[in-house]
Structures are given as structure tokens and as C-alpha cells.
Structure 1
Amino acid sequence: MPIVLVSRDLMLSSKLEGVARSLGQTLKSVGSGAAALGNAEERQVIVVDLELPGLDIAALVKGIKNRTQQPDKVIAYAPHVRTEKLAAAKEAGCDLVVSRGQIMSDAESILRRFLETDNPQN
């Protein structure tokens, strides 16, 4: 299952690229929600940076979840102090919402959980 990173964060992109490779997967980085919607693989894990300028997480999640019978899994992250953005992502229906620190320190287990099962626990 491909992994798509919706972010312009080069440090996290590099980190997730290494993790994806270690898990036998590919990582595609895109710079906007529209680009993520245009990247319609059959099934994928999408990691979204909630700090991306102009991002409407509710519209993005709705578009992702409505485009296939087996919707993609969406993981959203933001700095832990951005509580309003983290709450909005949960409300929008993201499958997992974590802090940036969590995704940086625990990316392998987070991605492995989503790659190995269709029903991860939040």
C-alpha cells in the first residue's frame, strides 16, 4: 500500500521516506491537498501535515473518504500546541491524529499499524 505525504516539511519527508523503504513501501510527497486527491492510487495511507498553508482538512478527508469503496487511511499531525488543528482533524474523520513529535519518533510503528491492518485503533 503506497504512502502519500501531504507536506512541505523536508525533514519529515526524509524521515518517512526512510521508514517507508524499511517497510518495503514507497513514499510519494505532494505539496497540497488537491495534489493528494489527484493521486488516486487504489489504496493508500495518507499522512497530512495540518500546518500546510491553505489546508482544509475537513474537505480533504471528505474527498479522500468518498472517492473509493475502500477509502484510504488518513493520518494527520501537527505540533502538540496546535490543539485546535488536532481537534479539527479528529472531527473531520482522520483515522489517526498525532503530534508532530509522535510521528517523528514513532513513524515506523504508526505506519506499520496502518499498512498491516484495515482497522487500526486510535
Structure 2
Amino acid sequence: MILLVTKDLFFVPTLRAAADKCGVELVTALSFDSARVQGLPPEGLTACVLDLSGIPVAGLAEVVSELRGRFPQARLVAFGPHVQEQRLHAAREAGCQPVLTRGQLSSHIDRLMADWTLVP
């Protein structure tokens, strides 16, 4: 199972199609602290994919720490617009790996999604 946290509802179908190709469930949430995220079991989640556009830079480390504590086995992946270098840097500093631009994610989504389905 992969968790996608984004407010960009136009981008969800792209990731859902890639997840379907890989045969993995994609759970979407508008925010990391939503009831949907809180209700997920810690086991079975292989990746948390965070859209940096919806997370303030100042709170990013806290979000990553909370998700790491809740889903210790999951990869923490972040993506955002290439022009938001401060957000991308903050995600790297907070421990997200990989950190991708939206273009990189879109261009390589099938390969990335296949990688994220593997248990780390």
C-alpha cells in the first residue's frame, strides 16, 4: 500500500494509474493528519508520498518525523515544483528519500511506483 498526501486532485489519477499497473493500493489524503491517515495500519505501507506544495517549510521536519514514527517501514518520498528549491532542500534535510521535482515524478512514475511497492 502507498499513501499519497496531496491537495492536487488533478495529479491523483496519474499516480493511481501507475499504482494500478503495479497492482498496489494507493490511498490518498488531503493532509498528513487526516482521519484517513491516522486510521491506516503501520504495517503494509511501503511508501508515503508527500506533495510539498501542501506542507509549510517550517513544519516539514515535524511532518516527516510524525510519519516516520507512525510508519517506520515506509519510504518517505517528497515531490514539489522545481522552482520551490527551499521546500525540496527542506525535505532532503528532514530525511525524505528520494526528493523529486514534479517533472521527475511524472516522467518516471511507473518505475518509481514499482520501486515503492517493494518493502525496504
Other structure's SS at 1:18 match = helix
TM-score of the two chains, using structure 2 as the length reference: 0.86
Deviation at 1:95, TM superposition (A): 2.0
1:40-119 paired onto structure 2 within 5 Å: 40-41=40-41, 42-44=43-45, 45-52=47-54, 54=56, 56-68=59-71, 70-118=72-120
* 8 Å CA contact 1:7, 1:30 repeated in 2: yes
Deviation at 1:53, TM superposition (A): 5.1
Other structure's SS at 2:82 match = coil
Other structure's SS at 2:117 match = helix
Which stretches of structure 1, 4 residues or more, deviate above 3 A after TM superposition? Answer: none
Q: CA RMSD in A?
A: 1.8
TM-score of the two chains, using structure 1 as the length reference: 0.85
Letter in 2 for 1:8: K
Deviation at 1:40, TM superposition (A): 2.9
Q: Quick one: distance in 2 between partners of 1:40 and 1:91? A: 26
Letter in 1 for 2:2: I
* 8 Å CA contact 2:78, 2:99 repeated in 1: yes
Letter in 2 for 1:60: V
Q: Quick one: distance in 2 between partners of 1:53 and 1:89? A: 10
Q: Quick one: distance in 1 between partners of 2:67 and 2:102? A: 22
Larger RCO, structure (CA 8 Å, separation 6 or more): 2
Deviations 1:78-118, CA, capped at 9 Å, x for gaps? 01111000000000011210000111121111121122351
Q: Which residue of 2 aligns with 1:17?
A: 16
The alignment-based identity, stated in percent, is 28
